Chains A and B, each alone.
Chain A
Amino acid sequence: MNPVLKRWLPWLLAGCLPLVCGPAMAAEGSAHYRWVTFSVFGAVIALTMYVTWLASKRVRSASDFYTAGGGVTGLQNGWAIAGDYLSAASFLGIAGLISLYGYDGFMYSVGWLVAYITVLLVIAEPCRNVGRYTLSDILAYRNDPKKSRIVGAISVITVSTFYLTAQMVGGGVLVKTLIGIDYETSVVAVGVLMLAYVLFGGMVATTWVQIIKAVLLVIASLVIVMLVWVPYGFSLPGFLQDVVGDPKVQARVATLLGDKATQMSAAELGQRFLEPGLYFKAPIDQISLGMALVFGTAGLPHILMRFFTVPTAL
């Protein structure tokens, strides 16, 4: 278990860019406004590195490093968990899935939300009460400590390798697009930054970096929603009516449906975008996804680790 999973950086950038230079970039292409991107990038790194430096001075024991000395308050930890949840997958992935598959993409965001309830009701308190530094502590509590730690380590490394590969590729591509450096360089830069936050600042820095990230992303999301919704006078049916009537959406649905689309009118194709089944053709796929989202997300190691940082479960 390692807080290296805190792959916050690219998504932080994704969060603040629309605020600062999103509209400009859409109009002009990115090259002209690269200095804006660069300064935002630099400012965010400087801020978080400063936080890490402050935190590193406080880290004196193993407990400080792994669990912030158990001194994080409920509110702080709540924001940090929100930061962990607002990852690549939730912030960019869901938006992408909805734009590609309509209703089926929306299913993802619902599943992740309900996983919070699983975490709240059955995971959080026992985790906090039993664990000390890592997830393996929980397994080792009632089982053979050595064997359960070996199993824990193997499974964490296996999961993290695949999980982190996707995150690093995403981060690398994003940094490359935004700043215009080589892909290889940006992947290495993202990795070095992540390691720096965790190795020098431990859980205190990680918590604060996550809090900063969560606040920025929540603000950015609200701004984007407002900007998109204002032209429709905050009317949900009005907004979706425009989605349904869009020729590009209709063409996309026609491509997804293939032969079945030939007898459908343009309006029917658009409406189909708001109905399930564009991505998950077989019924069992929906149920499989639902289970993976609700029970899988509740077991994310970097979420579980957060519960070791609070002083009580009350």
Chain B
Amino acid sequence: MSQTDVDWSAVIRDPRFQALHRRKQKLLFGLMAFSVVYYFLLPVGAAYYQSLFAIKVWGVVNVGLLFALSEFVVAWGIAYYYARHAGAQLDRMAAEISADFLGRRKAPAQGVAP
């Protein structure tokens, strides 16, 4: 079935689609807001709170360095959370809806050989 044969307004009216859309917006907006706020604490701190960043906590390692390193942990954490959450719930909801409206989904790709 090609994409033009689908009754898209029926898809939009489907309560399952609306629930999926709401949950996805909430997840994406929440994670994005958190990561932007957490990231911008770093340049703001480096610009206006230099004496705080300069406090030595572990040998010569100071607060600023540890905070910058924590950005890596947080970024990996967000990616992991998103991958798990989207993989476990959102993708399943989307697959159910598209199975009803589009027929069977195409089999996943096997990858390209060079």
Contacts and interface: CB of A to CB of B under 8 A. Distances in A.
A284 B48 CA distance: 9
A72 B75 contact: no
A237 B59 contact: yes
Nearest to B39: A114
Nearest to A55: B114
A107 B58 contact: no
Nearest to B46: A276
B43 A287 contact: yes
A274 B112 contact: no
A152 interface: no
A2 interface: no
A204 B53 CA distance: 46
Given A71-B109, A72-B111, A290 B60 contact: no
- Taking residues whose C-beta sits less than 8 angstroms from the other chain, chain A's interface range is 35 or more
Contacts of B36: 294
Interface string B67-98: 01001100100110010000000010011000
A118 B32 contact: yes
A96 to B, nearest CB: 18
B112 A287 contact: no
B13 interface: no
Given A54-B114, A70-B109, A204-B112, A237 B60 contact: yes
Contacts of A71: 109-112
B108 interface: yes
B56 to A, nearest CB: 8
Nearest to A287: B43
A91 interface: no
Question: Which residue, A103, A207, A284, has most C-beta atoms of chain B within 10 A?
Answer: A103
A53 to B, nearest CB: 9
Interface in A252-281: 271, 274-277, 280
A277 B112 contact: no
Given A204-B114, A241-B60, A290-B43, 18 more contacts: A51-B114, A103-B46, A106-B65, A110-B68, A110-B72, A114-B75, A117-B31, A117-B75, A121-B31, A121-B35, A122-B32, A205-B114, A271-B60, A276-B53, A283-B47, A286-B43, A286-B46, A310-B109
Interface of A: 51, 54-55, 58, 68-73, 76, 103-104, 106-107, 110-111, 113-114, 116-118, 120-122, 204-205, 207-208, 236-238, 240-241, 244, 271, 274-277, 280, 283-287, 289-290, 294, 310-312, 314
